[in-house]
Structure 1
Amino acid sequence: MDKIEGTRLYLRTFEPKDEDTLFQLYRQPAVCKYLLHEPWTPTNSAEAFQKKYAQKRLSHQTALSLAVVYDHRVIGDLSVWRTGQPDCVEIGYTFDPAYSGQGFAQEALHLLINWLFRTQQVHRIQATLDARNTPSANCCRRIGMREEAHFIQDWWSKGQWTDSLVFGLLAAEWAQK
């Protein structure tokens, strides 16, 4: 996959040099609070990074993980995987809190969505997130995704039942923007 360039940042697959930066991001409990996994540790970080590093192409069998690069530094992580429905994908994203509130997530997701709809023939994109993650839900709304569902205590996460929000966006809707 080629680099996807935006105004301030670009997206690319992960490189070996990104391992420590990703460890510094995912070792933070606040970053992992609403994610499905616990913070990375020195013991498990190499294996966790290798999974992301290996995800270089979106296919029906493989997910795609992309580094969000700003000013020569990885500030975020985007993931895309097929849902099992024809031409439908789900996206996930994590950003370094030091860069929050500056529109980087919006810009990166906009680039990703454009790429998915224009080059991957995707019909629908969805994002499922922990309902307590208000900044993430707000980001979905800002990029034009619609809230489609609020499931009550549907996911057991880190020792408690949590609610989930599902956001969706169709290619036809994106084309009208």
Structure 2
Amino acid sequence: MKPMAAFRLETERLVIRPLASRDVPEFVRYRNIDDVARYQDWPLPYTADLADELVAEVERLGRPTPGQWIQLAIDHEHHVVGDYAIWLDGEGQLAAIGYTVAPEQQGHNYAVEATRAVVEWLFLEAGVHRVTATIDPENVASARVLERCGFEHNGTVRSSALVRGQWADDTRFSLLRPAWEKWRNRDIGAPDTIELIEVTHDNIHDVCRIEVSQSQRRYVSSVAQSIADAAHPPVRDGVVSRPWYRAIVADDQLAGFVMLALPDDAHPAPCLWRLLVDTWYQRRGIARRTIALIADMLTEHGCDRLDVSFVDEPGGPERFYAQLGFERTGVIDDDGEVWASANLDEIVRRVRGA
């Protein structure tokens, strides 16, 4: 009988292979880091003996096997930067995945790159019907990995996971092959045109269907909520806010929503009140170009700055705004949001290189 080939997936930067003895010191090190372990359920302290037992099981299996979990290494330039777990049900039709990246290696999209490769293998080579993943509801970074790979948020099950003797909530994601194929084949290039159009009786229902991903909803309100806020604007510093909003159209497709609070007696600078780009249109430069269009319009009306407020949490939008020239003003409002401001000419320069 011909020996089964060793399991190995290669991406542009990574190799995904069975966890090996040489990986144990690094594997044990990052599994004992608080910021890594807090969202996982392995025993603590995590010892080398536990890792050795896991490696022995990996060596016995060799590759993903029906009815079993297998632990794989995420390898970058012959150095383990994280690990990947794959489970197949007894029939090999259902799969579950999990992943960890060492803290020092985060921020390079290794988990996204590895997940894309694993999911492609599961659907095209292993022939599975459905891939699932469960995460801690507070693990926003992990949710973003799954969302960027096309996974659908199924909901959060309360008190359903026993983690080190404590019951915890469990957020669940899944992906079917037809949905994965649709996601993989979506347009990811920069659109030729971006327009801002009025929200009317004819398009309001379609505009309200614009949605960000589940993990982003903690940072921005929905389109429907935004329009409701515009209908009954809040009072800020003793003055009723003056809303202005438009739908964002990219290549003739509804792609997002933007709303401003226009200048008033208490606020000489307009405020970027809401900005949403639909999940299916993200990472195409639409938000940046929209803000540049807003900057053009405001400049024509005699403004020179734009303010914004945002939720100051890991995974929040501050990095995006900072890339456009927004700097913190030192103001934190009653809702706990941080305020920042940018020069309109600087926004345009950074977006268009002018």
Instruction: Please confirm whether the aligned pair reaches a TM-score higher than 0.5, indicating the same fold.
Output: yes
Aligned-pair identity in percent equals: 28
When Rg is computed on C-alpha atoms for both structures, the one with the higher figure is 2
Q: Which has the higher contact order (CA 8 A, sep 6+)?
A: 1
Partner of 2:145: 139
> Are 2:21 and 2:52, in contact at CA under 8 Å, matched by a contact in 1?
no
Moved more, 96-105 or 158-167: 158-167
* Match of residue 30, structure 1, among 35, 47, 64: 35
1:16 lines up with 2:33 in the alignment = no
Which residue identity does 2:26 align to in structure 1? T
1:62 lines up with 2:68 in the alignment = yes
Partner of 1:162: 168
SS in 1 for 2:100: strand
> Counterparts of 1:42-61 in structure 2 under 5 Å?
42=48, 44-61=50-67
For residues 49-91 of structure 1, the C-alpha deviation after alignment (integer angstroms, 9 at most, x for no partner) is: 4344444222223323211111210111111112457611110
For residues 127-177 of structure 1, the C-alpha deviation after alignment (integer angstroms, 9 at most, x for no partner) is: 011112121112111111010121122223234331111100011111222
SS in 2 for 1:74: strand
**1:33: Cα distance to partner?**
1.1
For residues 18-74 of structure 1, the C-alpha deviation after alignment (integer angstroms, 9 at most, x for no partner) is: 222212222223211111113313554433443444442222233232111112101
Rounded to whole Å, the distance in 1 between the matches of 2:119 and 2:88 is 14
Give me the TM-score of the superposition, normalised by structure 1. 0.89
Partner of 2:82: 76
The unaligned stretches of length 5 or more in structure 1 are none
Rounded to whole Å, the distance in 2 between the matches of 1:41 and 1:163 is 26
**1:120: Cα distance to partner?**
0.2
- Equivalenced residue count is 177
SS in 2 for 1:37: coil
Moved more, 40-49 or 152-161: 40-49
Which residue identity does 1:125 align to in structure 2? V
Moved more, 10-19 or 89-98: 10-19
Which residue identity does 2:121 align to in structure 1? W
Moved more, 46-55 or 6-15: 46-55
Rounded to whole Å, the distance in 2 between the matches of 1:80 and 1:17 is 20
> Are 1:131 and 1:162, in contact at CA under 8 Å, matched by a contact in 2?
no
Rounded to whole Å, the distance in 2 between the matches of 1:43 and 1:9 is 27
Partner of 1:102: 108
* Match of residue 175, structure 1, among 171, 181, 184: 181
The unaligned stretches of length 5 or more in structure 2 are 1-5, 185-354
**1:10: Cα distance to partner?**
1.4
- Supply the RMSD in Å over aligned alpha carbons: 2.0
Moved more, 47-56 or 89-98: 47-56
Moved more, 20-29 or 146-155: 20-29
SS in 2 for 1:114: helix
SS in 2 for 1:34: coil
Moved more, 35-44 or 92-101: 35-44
